[in-house]
Amino acid sequence: METLDLLAHITSLTEAKFEYIHDQIIPKEDSKPLPQDVIDYILRPDFDLLTFQQKSLFQMATSLNHTEILTELYNIIWQQINHSEYRTYVEGLKIQTKSLGFFRIPDLTITLLNDREFTPSGALKNPISIIEVLSPATEKKDRNEKKEEYQRITNLQEYILIAQDSYKVEQYLRTGKTSWIVKVYDSADQTCVLTVGVKIQLSKLYQSVKFDKI
């Protein structure tokens, strides 16, 4: 397949989500597998996943609720966070988990601005906050496999899961080297306070969400 045809094919994959793990492209639950020639193209040594203009291949064709929540979340954080101390990333940023070369790409990540550590491939090694907006196709992995991987990151202080079909935010907070507690916020009048001091009012977070549209 010619390069332009490949790019067009990648662009057309709007109902799939994939993760790049240990030099493998793994489809998410219910996602269609990629053709081998597309996989070979993406795995070429000169393929730059982070700057490739079609990087949306690795992002789910998300629901409107997912988009609304993530947009509002970023706006809330941007307005309150100390920009001289912290750096916020929305999608696209690789997070190293387990060993070198193994990474995930969360919905939102916060780390210390002047203490960021990256692998040679550009994966962040020391996030302090990771947030995922749950989707039907990825919720099981977010709650289990990914949560376990993230919680092994020494610097991580919290892992947050945000539902898109109801008012619900789950905040997993580190209380020791291997111990965590969870706080659940499930009504519009509640406020979740991140470890960086940002206050997230659920009424504000969900203000554009229609719970029957996921």
Rounded CA Rg of the chain: 17
Q: What whole-number distance in Å separates Cα of residue 208 and Cα of residue 189?
A: 16
DSSP state of 109: E
> Which one, of 211, 137, 129, lies nearest residue 167 by Cα?
211
Residues β-bridged to residue 180: 174
DSSP state of 193: E
* pLDDT at res. 12: 47
Walk along the chain (214 residues) and give the pLDDT tens digit of each residue: 444 455 445 544 434 455 555 455 656 555 556 667 766 766 666 555 544 434 444 444 467 899 999 999 999 999 999 999 999 999 878 898 876 567 888 999 999 999 999 988 888 999 999 999 998 878 888 999 899 999 999 999 999 999 999 999 999 999 998 999 999 999 999 999 999 999 999 999 999 998 876 5
* pLDDT at res. 154: 93
Q: Is there a contact between 183 and 192 (Cβ–Cβ < 8 Å)?
A: yes
* pLDDT at res. 51: 43
Burial tier of 205 (Cβ tally within 10 Å: 0-12, 13-18, 19+): buried
Domain range list for the chain: 3-58, 64-205
pTM of the complete model beyond 0.85: no
Burial tier of 168 (Cβ tally within 10 Å: 0-12, 13-18, 19+): middle
* Exposure on the CB side of residue 74, measured as CA atoms within 13 A: 15
Q: What whole-number distance in Å separates Cα of residue 151 and Cα of residue 125?
A: 13
Q: Is there a contact between 127 and 157 (Cβ–Cβ < 8 Å)?
A: no
CATH 3.60.150.10 fits 64-205, yes or no: no
Residues β-bridged to residue 26: 19
As a dihedral over the C-alpha atoms of residue 40, residue 41, residue 46, residue 52, rounded to 10 degrees, the angle is -130
* pLDDT at res. 99: 63
